[in-house]
A and B are shown apart, each in its own frame.
Chain A
Amino acid sequence: MTLEQLLADTFPVLQDIQQTDLAQLQQEKDWQSKYRILMQLGKKLPPVPEKMKQPHLLVKGCESRAWLMHYHDKVADKHFFVLDSDARIVKGLMAIMLCLVNGMSSAELAKFDLCHKFDQLNLKPYLSQSRGNGLTAMAERIKACC
């Protein structure tokens, strides 16, 4: 498995999450259904092989670990990401973060306000508990890519 392959496999999944799952997540009324969707999202993403989970890619949460890989297509100025986490809910939430920034230009990524966007999607409550679960750290890592 190479980064190119992973990127190629991840890109359409993130697109799909943005186009279909996000809307569905917002429609769900009860927390059980929301969490079922979040966990499905995590499952949809292709897993990163253990060998590729290098220490410098690690984004540490208090209780779980996540890995972020990044590719910048300099010619087209587009940023692409690959993600994995050992906890499914966190992975689902991180997948949402990624689908929002997937394919952005450097300028777009620099301007992007994740907190605001999560608020719009009614996902703010998840972010507010994020100091422990690594979401804030992941958001910072994503921003640092531009």
Chain B
Amino acid sequence: MPGFDVQQFRQQFAFFQHHPDWVYLDNAATMHKPQAVVQAELEFYQINNSNVHRGAHQLSQQATAMFEQARSSIASYLNAARVHEVIFTSGATAALNQLAFGLMHTVLQPGDRILLTQLEHHANIVPWQLHCQRHGVIIDVVPLTPDHSLDLQAYQDLLALGPKVVSFSHISNVLGHIQPVAQMVALAKAAGAVTVIDGAQGVVYQQPDMQQLDCDFYVFSGHKLYGPTGIGVLYGKTTALQLLTPLLGGGEMIEQVSFVNTTFNKLPFRLEAGTPNIAGAVGLAAAIHWLQKFNNKQLQQHKAELLREFYQGLSHLKAVDILSSPVHNAGIVALNVDTEHPADVAELLNQQQVAVRAGQHCAMPLFSRLQLPGAVRFSFAAYNTLDDVNRSLLALEQAIEILTA
């Protein structure tokens, strides 16, 4: 296979042609979309638009076929055992809300425990809190070691308490650390827990193999996988999905409705009330098709090289306090400049057209553990270049100079 040509890769993103002066390092927030995705959504609306699963006409049947084809592409990307194990949601947040709601009563009874970790995104904390509080379910939290990795010994000790559900992120959205998910799933399963992986940051790093990973649920958002916003996936094993009470009721998810009793449709429709984001699903499938034209190993190698250069450059800057470890890192560097507020650092980078995120990145429990008001986050994607790395380092150097003058 020929080497990875980043310029050729980057050319497929019209966004960069419109913003040639910007260095975009906010990929953990959302990624840009290749032309193939934009085109697929556009064509869907221009040529194929109709509602799905309901029209008597051929146009609706065509749209339905495209929508179901998208599901099937995603199922095969994830190596799901069955196509109906892919449930479309509006994103990772919606999927986690469905899980937290849907497992109450069926799996979780009052007095039961669930297990989360210290570095979860609020989307993998708050939905559980909302429902656990109302149902008397106890939340335990896996702590971090001093080097900010998950404390696996403590994880095992907490598993011994017998949590019914264990939910953790594949990759930390703040630190970029890759969690040992295979090992964590195996341990949780041995302890008899239902396993949930928040793959919002993980899915772009590694094509997740559901049958190999063997987790019960894996969720992600399309927009962090070169796809559109407003579409995401709740993958679940068939047996696990059957445990879920639907969060949303409405059209298409039912079999029979009367005011006495309503019976639900079969999977996946039971968990997809209302008109879905049809164009979004088509766009996400297009993103996956497009991505599969590349060798992911090469994309990740390129990103690792950027990361290496970035760390190398950081080592020459004074006053930088790096929170992310360079090992087992998927391409995110969180840092602070002395005791300067991250918002000040980010604003000075913004002035130099370097897009980063500052703050607590929807992970307040992590920052209270780190005893920091926040951090500046540089997150890389395969379309970033060495020039992006160098420009961001120069901009950071300039920001430090202004801040510490």
Contact = CB atoms under 8 A, between A and B. Distances in A.
A27 interface: no
Contacts of A88: 340-341, 344, 403
A11 interface: no
Contact of A64 (B343, B348, B402, B403): B343
Contacts of B347: 35, 89, 133
A127 B62 CA distance: 49
Interface in B358-405: 358-359, 373-374, 398, 402-403, 405
A12 B2 CA distance: 68
A88 B341 CA distance: 7
Contacts of B232: none
B351 interface: yes
B405 A36 contact: yes
B402 A35 contact: yes
Contact of B374 (A36, A63, A133): A63
Interface in A93-146: 129, 133
Q: Report, as a range, how many residues of chain B touch the other chain.
A: 10 to 19
Interface string A1-41: 00000000000000000000000000000011001100100
Nearest to A90: B343
Nearest to B373: A86
Contacts of B344: 39, 87-90
A1 B344 CA distance: 28
Nearest to A34: B351
Contacts of B405: 36
Given A31-B351, A35-B351, A133 B343 contact: yes
Contact of B343 (A35, A39, A89): A89
A104 B373 CA distance: 35
B103 to A, nearest CB: 32
A63 B348 contact: no
Interface string B324-354: 0000000000000000111110111011000
Specify which of B340, B346, B402 lies most central, judged by the most chain A CB atoms within 10 Å of its CB.
B402
Nearest to B360: A63
A42 B374 CA distance: 20
Given A35-B402, A87-B343, A63 B351 contact: no
Nearest to A85: B341
A25 B403 CA distance: 17
A86 to B, nearest CB: 6
Nearest to A125: B351
Contact of B359 (A32, A36, A39, A62): A62
Contact of A32 (B341, B358, B402): B402
A47 interface: no
B348 A35 contact: yes
Given A88-B344, A89-B344, A90-B343, A63 B359 contact: yes
A21 B385 CA distance: 40
Given A31-B351, A35-B348, A64 B398 contact: no
Contacts of A36: 402, 405
7 contacts: A31-B351, A32-B402, A35-B348, A63-B374, A88-B340, A89-B348, A90-B343
In the A-B complex, the 5 residue pairs with the closest CB atoms: A87-B341, A63-B359, A63-B343, A87-B343, A64-B343
